[in-house]
Chains A and B, each alone.
Chain A
Amino acid sequence: SQELEQSPQSLIVQEGKNLTINCTSSKTLYGLYWYKQKYGEGLIFLMMLQKGGEEKSHEKITAKLDEKKQQSSLHITASQPSHAGIYLCGAVGGTSYGKLTFGQGTILTVHP
């Protein structure tokens, strides 16, 4: 089965600082999703990456998938308190149609 490892597990930054969250897979990624979750709430879709070397941006958040399609990073520029939450990467494996396996999550705290 596909396993995803996220790092760091938690992150505390000062408002305005940049930060990066990593997601590493034990197998080739056919689709890599990034979601954000506020505690006790559902998941908000951020971005999906499929192609090796692909990079997508939305507002101040940029996600990249490496050429080998086994590692992805999520970068937040000039962080704000509204960025606080739990960031989860999820992957679709090649043989499990549509099933998402999630990393353990990264808890982000942004101090004003």
Chain B
Amino acid sequence: GAVVSQHPSWVICKSGTSVKIECRSLDFQATTMFWYRQFPKQSLMLMATSNEGSKATYEQGVEKDKFLINHASLTLSTLTVTSAHPEDSSFYICSATSPRSSTDTQYFGPGTRLTVL
């Protein structure tokens, strides 16, 4: 199957700083990438949909100014958590797909664990 990587795999930062997480599709071109967050013992919640070359579409309740998403190329999307606070601590997972239809498989990265002190 297709491979998606994330970097870093974990990060610890101080409150008020910004953190950038990268999501890369390694062996295919991803026209669409999705960003999810997951709290302990909970399921994944979609944050935003990122299409290459256009602005991301955010889910209701997700602050676009806080979670900046950039999808500058067909293999890279970045999520920047700005002015991070302890409540932003979570597991962030991206997925990538190159949809020919709405049901094309999404391949997930290994996730990034963010801890904000």
Instruction: Tell me the A residues contacting B by CB distance below 8 Å.
Output: 30-31, 33, 35, 40-45, 48, 50, 88, 92, 94, 96-105
Contacts and interface: CB of A to CB of B under 8 A. Distances in A.
A102 B93 CA distance: 13
A40 B111 contact: yes
Contacts of B109: 42
A48 B34 contact: no
8 contacts: A41-B111, A42-B93, A45-B106, A45-B108, A48-B105, A97-B102, A98-B32, A98-B49
Chain B residues touching A, range: 20 to 34
Contacts of B6: 42
A94 B49 CA distance: 16
B44 interface: yes
Contacts of B34: 98-100
Q: Which of B4, B43, B97 has the most CB of A within 10 A?
A: B43
A103 B113 contact: no
Q: Which of A40, A50, A94 has the most CB of B within 10 A?
A: A40
B87 interface: no
B58 interface: no
Contacts of A45: 1, 105-108
Given A45-B105, A88-B43, A105-B43, 15 more contacts: A33-B105, A40-B91, A40-B111, A40-B113, A42-B6, A45-B107, A97-B99, A98-B34, A98-B99, A98-B106, A99-B34, A99-B46, A100-B46, A102-B43, A104-B43
Interface of B: 1, 4, 6, 32, 34, 42-44, 46, 49, 91, 93, 95, 97, 99, 102-111, 113
Contacts of A100: 34, 44, 46, 95, 106
Contacts of B49: 98-99
A31 B99 CA distance: 13
A50 B4 CA distance: 24
Contacts of B113: 40
